Structure 1
């Protein structure tokens, strides 16, 4: 079973190979010396250019909406296109120095969001393997899912069982660097090595986001959060035909025990 490389693994390999020939890749090669648990966080960090806000994107927890609100704060309007591929907002691993400075700055507001592990995993499954407009990253996992018995268009609870088997295998082989859409949230948020001012809950999204921006003294962003600006519906992923069974929920609780404990989910 070939677990797909993550963005961190790809960047490390590329920078290591090209560092003798390029200054930029020599700089990127510095990533190899980062604490791996912090590198995971830096890969999905967003820091506003004024250094007032550091946001750690956590997949399937409203990260598209929050990133677009931050883009609006910085540039006055949402990004036209995929915000996660924006070349304007300082996001991702190549801005790790900026993220590191913001995390160390007591004046910067540091925040992220989490979600109940069962609902988050259910949403990831639907977005990757069920919805008509599937996440394009699903292609990286398709062969593995088919090898484990996934049946396109098949009975949804059976296919969800296959997905849980694939998640378990991914966590066993590459817990730190597996796909961020089902990587344990505790790991994605830096394995306890980042002190956040607030870790909001997706279940209380608008209110927690408004509180974060209010504490940062940014009433403009509070207004945006209270308007419930939604730029991506994939996190909501409600499907009446997928009812997580008690057995499936028990398995998820076992796989994500650290998330249940760290974030107080029942």
Structure 2
């Protein structure tokens, strides 16, 4: 939430959250946060800050500010998670979650391009094995609890609703400028934001190896089945095309009433 309480944003990992966080910060302060916005301990109210929680909760329950979130095609989101979090070296110079990658190598036969992620490896084979792990962690919570970067978007988004919130807008990463502009047009800001001049703060860019195949090549029939098992509600509620992994664009409009009804249980 901005300190001015102009906007409330429910973060969904791997859905332009770095850029959105910087836009919120800029709208209050007229400058971007110097560094990764996820590391900011001032200038934005965050649920992770104890001194922010009461303010955020009161705002959300009263629906005092414009509330929004952003979603992404489940196929490209899980691929991005694999290349960033599994294959990539994180900004602290280490592998994500310490022993996660060695465990995946041992239990699932996943390759990640060597110690620095720069060696050639069979990306398609390793990604499909990673999908098995993601399904296992989400469905059975084994060999570990599901990670926020590949757990379903609908799960993230539902916690806001269940705890008394209501979204004014949910937009797509694939139509970012259009969706973010609609949010900015709906609120009064201390500092105007020119979206055309905003850089894209992709904090995961360069962490891991480049994807060398088209999106659809990573998903055979079994992979698509696993993706649907994990992300069925994401495809349905946010109107993405399950049948064609090559089509990253939504196929219809998001029905906010449907989202609140189905995720508010």
One fold, TM greater than 0.5? Answer: yes
Tell me the C-alpha RMSD between the 2 structures.
2.6
Matched-pair contact (CA < 8 Å) for 1:49–1:90? yes
1:151 is aligned to 2:122: no
Stretches of structure 1 lacking an aligned partner (at least 5 in a row): 1-46
Give matches, 1:73-84, under 5 Å.
73-84=27-38
In structure 2, the residue matched to 1:99 is 56
1:49 matched to which residue of 2? 3
Alignment pair present for 1:126 and 2:57: no
Cα contact 2:89–2:96 (8 A) shared by 1: no
Match of residue 253 from structure 2: none
Specify whether residues 50 and 189 from structure 1 end up closer, same or farther in structure 2 by C-alpha distance, changes over 3 A only.
Answer: same
Across the two proteins, how many residue pairs are aligned to each other? 218
Structure 2 alignment gaps of length 5 or more: 114-120, 242-265
**Pair 1:235–1:214, CA change in 2 (3 A):** farther
1:112 aligns with 2:69: yes
Question: 1:181: which partner in 2?
Answer: 149
Deviation at 1:117, TM superposition (A): 0.5
The 10-residue stretch of structure 1 (179-188 or 100-109) with the greater mean CA deviation from structure 2: 100-109
How far does residue 222 in structure 1 lie from its aligned partner after superposition? 4.1
Match of 2:182 in 1: 211
Partners in 1 of 2:62 and 2:4 — Cα distance?
12
Q: Which moved more, 1:96-105 or 1:205-214?
A: 96-105
How far 1:136 sits from its partner (Å)? 4.8
Residue-by-residue CA offset, 1:12-39 (whole Å, 9 max, x unaligned): xxxxxxxxxxxxxxxxxxxxxxxxxxxx
CA distance in 2, matches of 1:113, 1:98: 22
Structure 2 Cα separation of the partners of residues 170 and 76 of structure 1:
41
Query: Is the aligned partner of 1:260 residue 2:235?
Result: yes
Note the C-alpha offset of 1:139: 3.1
Aligned partner of residue 139 in structure 1, secondary structure = coil
Deviates more, 1:66-75 or 1:113-122: 66-75
Given the two structures, how large is their TM-score scaled by the length of structure 1? 0.73
Which residue, 138, 141, 144 being the options, matches 2:100?
141
| 1:229 alignment counterpart | 199
More helix by share: 1
